[in-house]
Amino acid sequence: MKYTFDIVGVSPLLQFFNHQQQNEQKPPHQGVEYLGMYTCTLDTFLESVESVPAKWGWNLDQVVDTVIQFWLNNSDSISYWKVRLSNAGKDNLIVARLADITALQAEFESLLDKKW
């Protein structure tokens, strides 16, 4: 299985919480997780992904490697989001998406209302 990790934005805490609650009430897109952190560091993201593989039956080593590879290859993006989070204030989170590639494709297709 192949995974993807990306920082998708900065969100007020309550808005992120509401998004997560709404997702719990919908049929889940198996294998797509949104993670909210108060700090934008590799350590915090690695800690946050530790419980995700058990939920979806993913390979923890591959998931961790995906996050690390993102961190190594996207320093400009990470710097940008660190500044955005800092400017947003203390009641905001940095939001990242961790997904199995197939599940993410299914989520995008559902957003576009496209059936394959």
Percentage of the chain beyond pLDDT 90 is 59
Distance CA 107, CA 54 (A): 20
Mean predicted lDDT score pLDDT of the chain: 87
Output the six-digit token pair for 22: 């709404």
**pLDDT, tens only, 14-62:** 999 887 777 766 665 568 889 999 999 999 999 999 888 787 889 999 9
Check residue 68 and give its pLDDT: 97
**pLDDT, tens only, 59-94:** 999 999 999 999 999 999 999 999 999 999 999 999
Distance CA 79, CA 64 (A): 20
Helices (H), 1-116: 13-25, 42-49, 52-56, 60-73, 75-88, 101-111
Q: Which residues pair with 84 in a beta bridge?
A: none
Look up the pTM and report it.
0.84
Who wins on pLDDT, 113 or 98?
Answer: 98
